[in-house]
Amino acid sequence: MNNSIIAPSVLNANFLNLKDEITAIEKGGAGLVHLDIMDGHFVPNISFGPGISALIGKATTLPLDCHLMISNPELFVEEFARIGSHYITVQAESTWHLDRILNRIRELGAKPAVSINPATPIENIQWILDLVDMVLVMSVNPGFGGQSLIPYCLDKIRKLREMKPNLDIEIDGGIKLDNILDAKKAGANIFVVGSAIFKTDSPETTCKKFVEKVR
């Protein structure tokens, strides 16, 4: 298994002060910047697109972890590859041609990843696990920050870790200081944290606490 990584989600950051917020998580030891891309169609919320993502990429030396919670992701993977995304994650439920789009992401020079919603069985992606560098297990229903972790999603991570011992497994949703070790014990090694970092008085200090917790 790879090292544990904290990937703060800027969806919960103060966008009027975004550069400082990103600097804070860099100083706090974050390993990735997680970008939640939402279209108001696949999920019931709208966030931002490749333009803002490109600006975020210019504001940080951290790799970009782009999670496309959008319909028809095949229409946008080239744009997100062009801005230098490290991971491009597509929802398994968002496309009929998952094999094709994952191969295309790798052709474009990014690391392909797949995400599954809480109610989606692990078995739905078992045949494409050799095509991805990471699986993102959603532990809340996607669309909004600040939700509570759905406990059965940890069982999905345990099963996935058994299926693919060396895979990077990311968890996103409801991760707090008091449950992150449960997620790590289940088998996750990349942890998306949003409001639990950015809605505190010192995102830098809080990010350090998360990094130390999973070290």
Catalytic residues: 36, 172
Beta pairing class for 33-38 and 87-91: unpaired
84 is in an annotated binding site: no
Asked if 124 and 92 touch (Cβ cutoff 8 Å), the reply is yes
Known binder of ligand: residue 145?
Answer: yes
- Residue 198 CB burial class (10 angstroms; 0-12, 13-18, ≥19): buried
Is 173 annotated in some ligand binding site?
A: yes
Cβ atoms of 169 and 135 within 8 Å: the answer is yes
Q: Are 104 and 132 in contact (CB under 8 A)?
A: no
- 42 labelled as ligand-binding? no
Q: Tokens in use for 58?
A: 């210019």
**57 marked as binding residue:** no
To the question of whether residue 51 is assigned a binding role by annotation, the answer is no
48 is in an annotated binding site: no
Question: Does the annotation place 31 within a ligand binding site?
Answer: no
**Cα–Cα distances in angstroms (integers) from residue 54 to residues 32, 64, 82, 158, 161, in the given order:** 15, 10, 9, 34, 33
Question: Does the annotation place 97 within a ligand binding site?
Answer: no
Sheet of 5-8, strand order? 5-8, 190-193, 168-172, 134-138, 111-116, 87-91, 64-69, 33-38
How far apart CA 73 and CA 91 sit, in angstroms, is 8
Binding residues for substrate, as ranges, are: 9, 67, 143-146, 172-174, 194-195
Which residues belong to the annotated binding site for a divalent metal cation? 34, 36, 67, 172
Q: Point out the annotated binding site.
A: 9, 34, 36, 67, 143-146, 172-174, 194-195
